[in-house]
Amino acid sequence: GNSVTQMEGPVTLSEEAFLTINCTYTATGYPSLFWYVQYPGEGLQLLLKATKADDKGSNKGFEATYRKETTSFHLEKGSVQVSDSAVYFCALYSGGSNYKLTFGKGTLLTVNP
Partner 1 sequence: EAQVTQNPRYLITVTGKKLTVTCSQNMNHEYMSWYRQDPGLGLRQIYYSMNVEVTDKGDVPEGYKVSRKEKRNFPLILESPSPNQTSLYFCASSLTVTSGNTIYFGEGSWLTVV
> How far apart, in Å, do the first and last CA atoms of the chain sit?
41
Nearest one of 70, 77, 71, 66 to 37, comparing CA atoms: 77
Q: How many CB atoms lie within 10 A of CB 40?
A: 7
Nearest one of 14, 18, 21 to 105, comparing CA atoms: 21
Near partner 1 in 53-92, by CB under 8 A? 89, 91
Given 46, 53, 54, 81, the residue binding partner 1 (CB under 8 A): 46
Name the segment binding partner 1 (CB under 8 A); options: 15-23, 64-72, 75-83, 102-110: 102-110
* Least spacing, CB of residue 104 vs partner 1, in Å: 6
Interaction between residue 105 and partner 1 (CB under 8 A)? yes
* Least spacing, CB of residue 6 vs partner 1, in Å: 9
